[in-house]
């Protein structure tokens, strides 16, 4: 039988401060769990909204400083978006997957297939400027750095997931997805595990960090700066840790791009 | 601000019995929450694995009784699957979306895009027979029926979600997804809601029931007959209820099929 927990608790850290470039997120998390009366324990998983990780890492871009290329201008007229935003999307991407009026889906340089390269113009504290927030440069590395710092600060061996809201083919509505992970298996590979009746399981790979990311989204809400950090207590796993990059389906295995 | 909860608790009902055709799942759930010491309250959400709903509804099919058509035989040789299973997949589907060796993705008659029409050959109590388990005939109706019966039995106004594990384009690993829902908004439409800074949100539709389904999957584990029912306590919502069918993206809006 898998080491599946019987109970799980999710706690959104209360009154999490606005995050600015250079802030030490691990310190803010440790202060936040203390405020909530739930100091970190071994096995806890801390889920952080992409936005605060990006802001702490200084990924806010002033659109006034962006000069769109001819390619960006042409694409912008096709998708009916700000040419400066489209320029940023192209800089962040390997290629355009779908372009339609009001729709720009790309393969991000990280390998994520997503709208607008994950660049966010909503819900960003802008001081009146037109700004855009890029994804962290390397979300798995960001998660690992946070995991190590949380361990150093608290003594607890915790997992870290960085989540973001993704649209999906075939289904309406966004869903929380893991763009970074550390200290836990983002992808669990059960090939060979017997099921209850001793047969090998047909469904063999589980998007563990994606399910964690989606759970936390229920508490963060869409305006996720209000509750950008969720503590999950009670998860268990037996597989070795691997990063969120393991969740990316290689193009050669992909029938839908 | 959205009516987002600050804490959530998920409880897998312990020692849930094996489910057979004709079993009253609402009674089993009410007995299960009593055993767990968490009698149903208003606002609770009960998540049930598709398998037990299908079994209670008698959706187990003896493959020995299935005569594959010529079309099923041809397709089976292409995808390297049991022709009788492929026959069932075709009967349950509107059309084939992708067919490759070991891969058969269809549009289920319910509108779901999924592998093998959601038909499961693993983890089914078969008494030695080769059997397959089909999806419930109408999972939204199953969820609504369960919701009404749980309300009648407990007095509590609860939400019900029926989940299943789905593969996804672009990402490796399965994830829990809602195939049926009642008593809660499967899809939350926030178009027009202001964000923290008073701007209209760009991300406007949230796959609420899918995020609930994914959360519960963390507790059910892959051999989900072991823990096929999860109680979620602490969720809040303001939108009116709508069924899981709302999560289906109409083909005319879909860029990936």
Pair of tokens at residue B176: 């829990």
Are residues A112 and A206 part of one domain? no
Are residues A144 and A242 part of one domain? yes
Task: Decide if A1 is inside a domain.
Answer: no
For residue range A115-173, list pLDDT tens digits in order.
999 997 654 555 778 889 999 999 999 999 999 999 999 999 999 999 999 989 899 99
From the list B113, B122, B206, which residue is nearest A201 (CB)?
A: B122
Indicate if ipTM > 0.85: yes
Residues 143-182 of A with CB under 8 A from B: 165, 168-177
Q: Which residues of A touch B215 (CB under 8 A)?
A: 8, 211, 214-215, 218
Give the domain extent around A70: 61-131
Q: Tell me, what CATH number does B79's domain have?
A: 3.90.1660.10
Pair of tokens at residue B198: 């008073």
C-alpha–C-alpha distance, residues A159 and A43, integer Å: 7
CB contact under 8 A, B122 and A203: yes
Task: Decide if A252 is inside a domain.
Answer: no
Task: Decide if A257 is inside a domain.
Answer: no
Are residues B65 and B33 part of one domain? no
Long-range contacts of A77-81 (CB under 8 A, 24+ apart): A79/A103, A79/A104, A81/A116
State how far Cα A99 lies from the chain centre.
23
C-alpha–C-alpha distance, residues B224 and A212, integer Å: 17
Q: For the whole model, what pTM was predicted?
A: 0.93
Question: Closest by alpha carbon to B109, among B141, B75, B138?
Answer: B138
Are residues A140 and A42 part of one domain? yes
Q: Which residues of B touch A206 (CB under 8 A)?
A: 165, 173-175, 217, 222
Question: CA distances (Å), A109 to each of A132, A134, A201, A246, in order?
Answer: 17, 12, 34, 15
The verdict on A122 touching B (C-beta cutoff 8 Å) is yes
Are residues A170 and A153 part of one domain? yes
Are residues B65 and B55 part of one domain? no
Residue A97 has φ and ψ, to the nearest 5°, of: -95, -45
Give residue for tokens 């710092």: A149
Q: How confident is the model at residue B2 (pLDDT cuts 50, 70, 90)?
A: very low
Are residues A142 and A55 part of one domain? yes
Q: Tell me, what CATH number does B14's domain have?
A: 3.30.1330.100
Residue B102 pLDDT: 87
Q: Which residues of A touch B197 (CB under 8 A)?
A: 123-126
Looking at the structure of chain A, the number of domains it has is: 2
C-alpha–C-alpha distance, residues A164 and B139, integer Å: 29
Question: CA distances (Å), B196 to each of A229, A231, B193, B235, in order?
Answer: 16, 22, 10, 21
Which range has the worst mean pLDDT, B113-122, B161-170, B190-199?
A: B190-199
Task: Decide if B255 is inside a domain.
Answer: no
């Amino acid at each position: 039988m898998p080491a599946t927990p019987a109970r799980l608790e999710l706690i959104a850290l209360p009154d999490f401060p606005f995050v600015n470039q250079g802030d030490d997120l691990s310190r803010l998390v440790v202060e936040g769990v203390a405020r909530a009366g739930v100091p970190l324990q071994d096995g806890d998983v801390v889920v952080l909204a992409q936005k605060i990780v990006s802001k702490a890492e200084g990924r806010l871009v002033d659109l006034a400083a962006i000069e769109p290329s001819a390619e960006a201008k042409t694409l912008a007229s096709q998708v009916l978006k700000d040419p400066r935003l489209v320029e940023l999307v192209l800089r962040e991407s390997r290629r355009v997957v779908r372009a339609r009026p009001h729709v720009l889906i790309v393969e991000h340089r990280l390998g994520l297939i997503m709208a607008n390269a994950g660049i966010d113009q909503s819900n960003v504290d802008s001081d009146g400027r037109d700004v855009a927030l890029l994804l962290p440069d390397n979300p798995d590395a960001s998660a690992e750095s946070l995991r190590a710092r949380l361990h150093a600060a608290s003594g607890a061996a915790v997992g870290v997931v960085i989540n973001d809201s993704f649209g999906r083919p075939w289904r309406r509505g966004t869903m929380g997805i893991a763009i970074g992970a550390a200290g836990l298996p983002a992808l669990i590979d059960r090939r060979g595990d017997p099921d209850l009746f001793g047969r090998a399981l047909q469904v063999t790979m589980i998007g563990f960090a994606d399910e964690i990311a989606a759970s936390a989204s229920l508490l963060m809400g869409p305006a996720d700066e209000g509750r950008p950090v969720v503590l999950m207590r009670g998860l268990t796993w037996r597989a070795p840790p691997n990063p969120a990059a393991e969740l990316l389906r290689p193009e050669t295995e992909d029938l839908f791009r």
